[in-house]
Amino acid sequence: MAFITTRLLHHLALFLFLTQLTHSALVPKTNNQPALKPQASNTYIVHANHLAKPPHFASLEHWYHSMVAAHSPRPVNTGRILYTYDTVMHGFAVQLTDDEARGMSSAPGVTGLYKDRLINLHTTRSPGFIGLDPGNAAWNETNYGDGVIIGFIDTGIWPESVSFDDSGLGPVRPSWRGECVDAHDFNSSLCNNKLVGAKAFDAAAKAMAGSTSGGGVPSPRDRIGHGTHVSSTAAGAQVPDASLYMFSRGTAWGMAPKARIAMYKACGPGGCSNADMVAAVDAAVKDGVDIISMSIGGPPQPFHDDVIAIATFGAERKGIFVALSAGNSGPMASTVSNSAPWMTTVGAATVDRLFPSNLTLGNGVVLAGKSLYTMQAKGTSMVELVSTDCSVPENFTPDKIMGKIVVCTTGAGIPHGIKAQNAGGSGLVDVDTTSWLRDGIMATAFPLPALTLSYTGGEKLRAYMASEPKPVASFSFGCETVTGKNRAPVVVSFSSRGPNFGAPELLKPDVIAPGVNILAAWSGAASLLGDSSHFDDGRRSDYNIISGTSMACPHVAGIAALIKKEYPSWTPAMIRSALMTTAGTLDNRGRDIRDNGVTVGSNNDTAATPLVAGAGHIRPRLALDPGLVYDAGERDYVDFLCAMNYSAGQIRSFVPDFITCTRTLAGGPAGLNYPSFAVVFDNRTATRTLTRTLTKVSEEAETYTVIVKAPEHVKVIVTPPTLEFKEPKEMKSYTVEFRNEAPGNRKTEWAFGHIIWQNENHHVRSPVACHW
């Protein structure tokens, strides 16, 4: 594929650091009094009533400059006014002394004046949003995950990033067998007590590409950015003042800031070879990692045909917790990948943060979108709109789009922005037709004026363009980060959903975690798009904001590291159970978590079902004290495969010394001791009975009472209704009888509920899904 060289249409700095010249005057000293020091300037937000603008000013901007000139004796220039606001509020931000601010506060037309202040943000806000901060017990009790080693199978790492600084960390444990390799562009001395391992596996990828270049140790250096991003999300060190340009500025933290990182590079620009990935997993297990994070996956397939399922089963047998991304193929059903029961499968959701931008149509309607465009905070003039299929390269020619705003009806990203810019386009509108509302859409760092609209906004735009012979619009960019104003979490539309293709009676995904517009460290060699070999507009950043279940997965891996630190003897299944049974199902408004995916029968306020959100959104503080857990191990998973009628030969793919199935799993595959229930009714079975076993992990004696919310048309009976635990690690079993009371034939329907074991200290919740 040809390398595309971009024209630099605008030589604009991303930040304007303008030196303000102050005219000093000599003040005669009288009575030995010292000369007065000039007051320091601060940023103030001036909230103005735009309707009060005097008619002799041609524009609001002219009026704003007049206000500044009237109340400040210093020269006025465009650099003094930092931003203008014209959508959610009207006004401007400006540098003023305190005296100047007091004078401006009483100026005609000024509604309010607010001194700017710093708001502490944590890594795209995701640690704070899920309840992690320096004063929080989850970090303090686990010493920030110190010493736990997370292995990443990914695109490599950029070791020079400050997110991998090892200040304050002691040596890695003596039992660690990993190492950092020396390669042509990677020196082992770049590793430290934070980055304790770095290797690369590319032989299969080279062979597939027909490469004849050989010799030398493959380099673990990340030239795409993905591996650097996910590893810093899970275990990055504290980094003050991190941001993508002016967006998400704050202190960056990983989920487990003192955990150690081992990178196993197995992916490149062309993707990830299964052979390379299996080699990487193998090496990680040999080296002695505690956690494996894999933000990788392909189409759903039977477990015995999935080498990643087989390799991760081997990791589980060694006691290693494995987190994998659910996939980005939503909102269609049955798209979830990495869905074996020994994997923890992670879907993606939003946090309570927006990057607002607006598209004002020629008829005055304002459509709210998201954008990470940085160059033009004041907005644009009205420009003609042209709608096109942006998946067709021939549509990006000067004769079709020069001087116009391109509306992409089939989605768009940075490459489309580069092509539009090269062809002389004035801007671009990306319509996400799979997402109902703005809260759940991705923001993109487009290289030209551009934003993303949701399906709802896109429909309004489509209707306007159909009604006008020459539709026009203008952009407005606040270049700001707004937190706490939107409903969150919301399950994003691209997050892959159940039911589970490989095992319909196993509910997947397991949980959801922040995976939309996540800020984390980035490769110094990569463009903002990632792979710089095809589309590169020259922009670089130490941190980047990207989205995907890839971003959600390391959140769970990092939290698993905290749990592993607190309970080093826990099995992977116990850690997964703690994450699932304490997960939340309500958003920050106290309402059901919303599914933002546009599907048949859904609307803009459809609740996310367990097929979409699994057990719910991760809550680290509660996961560190779950009370009870559902445990499982190798023998349980073999029984599960036997219940799925796998042959002895197929099961030997997972357990080489397997001979024959000797136990019957009561209830079939749904009888696995899993923290969720998926029940399938058929014409032959009106009642399904399943057994679960709980293990006590709390210290005090406790009694639990069951609470049942039965799915519609299903009667659920739990026996016994109470469980009394007295001893540590004590196990108690219970049975659940599901009776089908649905009339007629309901072959394609699902219904949902939950089973909760609770007392005054703990709330152990399992989602229930029933299918006809």
Q: Catalytic amino acids?
A: 154, 226, 550
Nearest to 563 by CA among 550, 584, 551, 579: 579
Nearest to 366 by CA among 45, 739, 88, 564: 88
Both structure tokens of 91: 């006004």
Pairwise CA distance, residues 574 & 502, whole Å: 23
Crossing angle (nearest 10°) for helices 307-317 and 634-643 = 150
Question: What residues does 768 pair with on adjacent strands?
Answer: 677, 753
Residues 6+ apart with CB under 8 A from 483: 119, 121, 125, 352, 353, 354
Pairwise CA distance, residues 113 & 93, whole Å: 10
At 291, which amino acid appears?
I
Asked whether the beta carbons of 615 and 765 are under 8 A apart, the reply is yes
Q: How far is CA 398 from the centre of its chain?
A: 36
Question: What residues does 459 pair with on adjacent strands?
Answer: none
Where does residue 548 fall: left (phi above 0), alpha (psi -120 to 50 degrees), or beta otherwise? left
Write out the H or E segment, with its range, that includes residue 233.
Answer: helix 226-235
Both structure tokens of 262: 């081992």
Residues 6+ apart with CB under 8 A from 718: 706, 708, 734, 735, 736, 737, 755
Between the CA of residue 695 and those of 672, 719, 726, what are the distances in Å? 15, 17, 11
Crossing angle (nearest 10°) for helices 572-581 and 549-566 = 110
Pairing of strands 731-740, 687-696: antiparallel
At 236, which amino acid appears?
G
Cα within 13 Å of Cα(512), Cβ side: 38
Residues 6+ apart with CB under 8 A from 380: 426, 427, 449, 474, 475, 476
At 592, which amino acid appears?
D
Both structure tokens of 502: 């490989």
Query: 3-state SS string over 270-314?
Result: CEECHHHHHHHHHHHHHHCCCEEEECCCCCCCCHHHCHHHHHHHH
The length of the chain in residues reads: 772
Question: What residues does 69 pair with on adjacent strands?
Answer: none
Pairwise CA distance, residues 187 & 181, whole Å: 7
Write out the H or E segment, with its range, that includes residue 554.
Answer: helix 549-566
Both structure tokens of 475: 């952009």
Between the CA of residue 521 and those of 233, 355, 371, what are the distances in Å? 8, 19, 20
